[in-house]
Amino acid sequence: MIATYDLTTIKDIFDKVPTGRIDACMKELIVLMLQAADVRDLVNGVAGDSASFVFPDTIVWTDDDKGEVTLRVSAGGHDFLTVKTQMAKENQHRAPQGR
């Protein structure tokens, strides 16, 4: 059975995600955060002060061992961009490198 976890704080990762799955969760969250930062920088560079990028308060992590990350960008209540990333198998087992 595939489990999902609503994550609002780092403490939620510690409290909710099983110990043996924290590594997988964090690797996917790193990819998500880096992608979100890139989109934020792009939005700010194109639209300047007329637009804002808001990271969600809660992230739902699906423990399905697929190494997939999906970032949805919405405006006016409508999704207009979806970025799906399939992590390479070798990257699912080691931490992504920072920028």
- Kindly report, residue by residue over 43-95, the tens digit of the pLDDT: 878 877 777 778 889 999 999 989 999 888 877 777 778 888 898 876 655 55
Question: Residue 49: what pLDDT?
Answer: 72
pTM here?
A: 0.79
Q: Within 13 Å of residue 60, how many CA atoms lie on the same side as its CB?
A: 7
Write the CB contacts of 83 (distance below 8 Å, at least 6 apart in sequence).
35, 39, 70, 71, 72, 73
